[in-house]
Structure 1
Amino acid sequence: MDLGWLTGLDGVQELHAQLDFLRSVQRTFDHGSGRLDLLTVFSKILAVAVPLVSVMAAWYYRRIFGFGLGRFLSRIFSAKSSQIIENYLVSKGVMLEVYLYSPHGVDRKVCNARVSAVAGGGMTLDLVQVHPTSLNLKNKRVICFVKPFTYSGRKINAFVTYVRHMHRRGTVIKELTLLTPIRYRFVIRRKHVRQKVARQGAVRVKAWDVRRRKTFWMVRPDLQTVSNPAKHEDKMRLEVANISAGGVRLHILNPKGELPPLKEGNQLVLRISVWNPETKKFFYFNVVGAIRSRFKVKSGGIGLGIQFVARGDRMGSGYTWKTLQGEIPELGEFLERIQGD
């Protein structure tokens, strides 16, 4: 029996199926529905992404936006006094000491400079002494100190502003322009810039009651830092908040038991060890520190602001104490060096 006609029928059906598929594809793209769907997807993405990016940018630059608004209002109400002060800075060649200004306070020094011109809301600086830096300072907040002067019955020695423009060659700043500030004011300035201690263990402190200054190295310290705070969360210990060439700020966490006298004016013997990343070693010194301030810290802890007043030098089997002239010189040099890194 000849079945060839069945084979021909199968071929026709397969052809019809292929044609139906092609017609379906053609109908899908006839009116550009795929393109419209793609545009819809992109528009939805943009509808979410644009506001999100705008909010993030506004939050990131919130301080600069706030500064700009404050400066705009100050120029409306006090433009004349600001102009007089700025003319004085330019005409007298007043020296500025420019420091980075973080939420924690005065940070590393940027340069010494004079204001050469004020125009268009900017202060062009004539750089005198520049500290090397690898930071991009544009839009960074800075504080500028000047020799105190009096205007209209008020004392002025500082202003806070932002860096408008900088040009750096390698680590050396060649050009620097600041925004004119909102106001000029008087700031009680610390002689020594404090260095925040970011990593506990980099600065180690042992503390004794000052009455033990003749035998302190022979007895256990009354208070001390620990190398691994995570393992001593519930134990009493010291924490170093910041340090300068003239003093240190300490936190006593979980205070308990008998403590040495900790009122303002009381003194402690301190052995302070500082990690030097250049030599990969600690260097230490012994000082008598006077408590200048006492305050509360987290979880019921005690904060102490301590000024170095005397230094102990080994002499035979004991120590002799000599009054300090404001600072530990080698500590000051070390802190200044790491600030410039």
Structure 2
Amino acid sequence: MLVIDVYSSSTLDVIEDRLCRGGPAYYAQLALHAIGAADARVRLALPTCIDAEWYLDADWCPGSVHAEGYECATVFAVKEGHGGRRLRVLREPDPLEPDPRGDAALVSPVLGELEPAEAARLLTHYRLAIVDVQGFGRVNGGGEVEAFSRGVLAFLEQPAEPGGFAAVKLSLEDVAGAAWAAEAVRLHRHAPYSALLVTAGPRGALAVLGDGSALAVRPRRVEAVSTGAGDMLSVLTLYGLWKGWDLEDAVAGAAAAVACILLERSRRGRVEEGACKASFMGRRGVSVEKLPGGCSSADCIVMAFEQG
């Protein structure tokens, strides 16, 4: 049994007056549920008073808003628009103490639950880990979530000694147009990480390896809300690596499954157990391109998605 420790606050989203489960741990468990991974489970690695069984249930939006009852969850008001998602903080819990026990880790803070140095130290406990640095780049600006690049760079500047495969994940929206993105890519080249993963929701992912070589992984295009896509791709990549796949196959399988999950959720409002297993195992609808000359700059990353 693969136990994946998720380092993130339990997160709830208020979307159009509905209370919806959200955050990295929920989306990680949803992804495993969608591919029927009976040999893997998510563990909340930051203490919480929320009922873990309720929180990790596959049903996305179970009811109306009663956010005042979830004192130990981060609660966001979420608004989707043409300019992307906007988040407003309704509740932010106190800092939490990490509790490493599992076999693999997804370190994905949503709003300052972990200090960069603390996140780097956690990697020594795991032979498989992905760190999503987006949460290090957020700050609660009086209730509105604002971008703050210094936190991302602070993590990449930390000395780290991963216990095995460890990747850093950014999203394309973090890279495109961000003044600090070039410095982040430069720092990654000199850090002890196996890969840099850049995700773009339904558009797939780019994996930049330690030697500078790069793989563009492009799934079939789906028109659907992409919330949670990055966390789902991360956890399914970890699962594929644990199964013995190489990184190319792991990311391709993950991207295929994520496209399936987003489509199922859009059509049916929920995802049945095992509904996307065939997509994951067969890498359905995914193309993988090895970029000639690699990809070692922020401009190259953006162009790789534009050309796809």
TM superposition score category, shorter chain reference: under 0.3
Normalised by the length of structure 2, the TM-score is 0.23
Greater strand percent: which structure? 1
Normalised by the length of structure 1, the TM-score is 0.21
- If you compute each CA radius of gyration, which structure gives the higher value, 1 or 2? 1
